[in-house]
Amino acid sequence: MKQIATFIVNEKRYELAIEPHMLLVEVLRDELGLTGTKQSCGIGNCGACTVLIDGKPVLSCLTLALTVEGKHITTIEALAQGTALHPIQKAFVEHGAIQCGFCTPGMILSAKALLDKNLNPTDREVKYALSGNLCRCTGYVKIIDAVLAAAEAMSKEANT
């Protein structure tokens, strides 16, 4: 039986009637049409479905939607301001860190969770923070470059 639930997605409130067994990835994609969140393995191994819950990266394919009622959910759609890309998005674009692009939203959100806490990460901290996100195209090299470049850009911005 459907239940009414309130979700705060990208700082907007949505009251939805959903089945209790619905996963967060289903609510985002099928109910709200936010298809930037991707599903790839369905068992929490690849990170493509990563979203932020209260700023922390969470696998939306393993999260029952009702458990995040009232929490702040951030999806990839929230990062750019109009056509102005978020510094992480900009870095991914400029460093060639995107090939097929299917893992990209999850990668960027994992990177955001890291950089929101630590604007000066080491190479190893970046790898560790993004190690739950699988990519089959890039060999990760340019993704790591992009995150480090974004960190630099964001910390410059923070200091000005």
Partner 1 sequence: MSQRLSVVGKRIIQPDAAAKATGAALYASDIMVPGTLIGKVVRSPYPHARITRIDKSKAENLSGVEAIITPEDTAQWQKFDRGMKDLPMIAGGYTVPPDEGVLNERARHFGDAIAAVAAINEHIAEEALELIEVEYEELPFIIDPEEAMKPGAPQISGFAKGNIGKHMSYAFPAGDVQKAFKEAECIVEGTFSTPKQEHCTAETAAAVARLDVNGRLTVWSQCQLPHLARREIAHIFNMPVHRVKIITPFIGGSFGQRGALCAEPICVALALKTGRPVKLVYSREENFIALESRTGFQYTLRMGFQKDGTLTAMDTYMLGRLGGYMGCGPMASAIGMIFGLGHYRCPNRSGEADMVMTNTPMSGAFRGFGNPAIMWGIEQLVDEAAEKLGMDPIEIRLKNIKKAGEIANMGLRLESTYLEECIKRGAEAIGWKEKWGKTKKGTIRRGVGVATMTHCSGAAPLYLDHSNAFIKLNEDGTADLVVHPAPVGQHIWGALSQIAAEELGIHAEDINIVTGDTDVTLFEYGSDASRSTYSVGNATLIAALQAKEQLLERAAGMLGVSAQELEINDRQIFSSTEPKKRISMADVCYDAIYNFKGECLNISGKCSWESKWNSPPTGAFFAEVEVNIETGRVRVIRFVTAMDCGKAINPMAVEGQLEGGIQQGIGYGLTEDYVINKDTGVVETDNYDSYKMPGMMDMPETQVIIIDEPDPKGPFGAKGVGEPGMVGVAPAIANAVYDAVKVRIRDLPITPEKLLNALELARN
| Chain residues that interact with partner 1, rule: CB under 8 A | 19, 21, 26, 29-30, 33-43, 45-46, 48, 75-77, 79-80, 85, 89-90, 92-96, 98-105, 108, 127-128, 130-144
Toward partner 1, which CB reaches closer, 30 or 157?
30
Least gap, CB of 27 to partner 1 (angstroms): 13
Toward partner 1, which CB reaches closer, 39 or 155?
39
User: SS3 breakdown of the chain: % helix, strand, coil, rounded to 5?
Assistant: 40, 20, 45
Least gap, CB of 117 to partner 1 (angstroms): 18
Toward partner 1, which CB reaches closer, 68 or 130?
130
Q: How far apart are CA 21 and CA 58, in angstroms?
A: 17
Whether 39 contacts 49, CB under 8 Å:
yes
Give me Rg for the CA atoms of the chain. Answer: 16
| Cα dihedral 103, 128, 85, 49 sign | positive
